[in-house]
Amino acid sequence: MKTTLSILTMALVTWLIRALSLTLIRKKITNRFITSLLYYLPYGVLAAMSFPAIMYCCQNQLAALAGLACAVILALLDQPLTTVAMASALTVLLISLIA
């Protein structure tokens, strides 16, 4: 029951943000600080969600670290999202099977 309520709360808040933006607010946001905050915030959120959690996301920590290294290298080489994710998971699988 609580999970259902939680899921509905997520959906409602997310929809409200989107609905407000397309209906009530007809002016452009010109405040430079707000614009900047909304520009940088997603990167900060994704980074904090990934670290340090990614180091402990698998049973075998060595495998998780190898998967992390693989993801970082491929991302720095500008590889597409799916390539980075697949190669990282494959690395984890291989190391888990060997170790």
Partner 1 sequence: MKDDFLNGLRQGLPIGLGYLFVSFGFGIYARGCGLSVFQATAVSFLNLTSAGQAAGVAIIAEGGSLMAIAFSQLVINLRYLLMGIALSQKLDDNFSLRQRLVACHGITDEIFALAIGQNRPLTAPLLYGMTAIAVAGWTGGTLIGSLAGSLLPGVITDAMGILLYAMFIAIFLPPARRQLPIAVTVIASILINCLFYYRLKSVSASMAVIISSLIAAVAVSLIWPVREEEA
Of residues 44-83, those binding partner 1 (CB under 8 A):
44-54, 57-60, 63-64, 67-68, 70-72, 74-76, 78-82
Nearest-Å Rg of the Cα atoms of the chain is: 19
Per-residue x/- marks for partner 1, 3-42, CB under 8 A?
Answer: xxxxxxxxx-xxx-xxxxxxx-xxxxx--xx-xxxxxxxx
Q: How many residues bind partner 1 (CB under 8 A)?
A: 74
Cα–Cα distance list, 2 to 7, 10, 12, 14 (Å): 9, 12, 15, 18
Q: What angle do CA 87, 55, 77 make, to 5 degrees?
A: 40
Neighbours of 32 (CB within 10 A): 8
State the nearest-atom distance from the C-beta of 16 to partner 1, in Å: 9
Told to check if 99 binds partner 1 by CB under 8 A, we report: no
State the nearest-atom distance from the C-beta of 26 to partner 1, in Å: 6
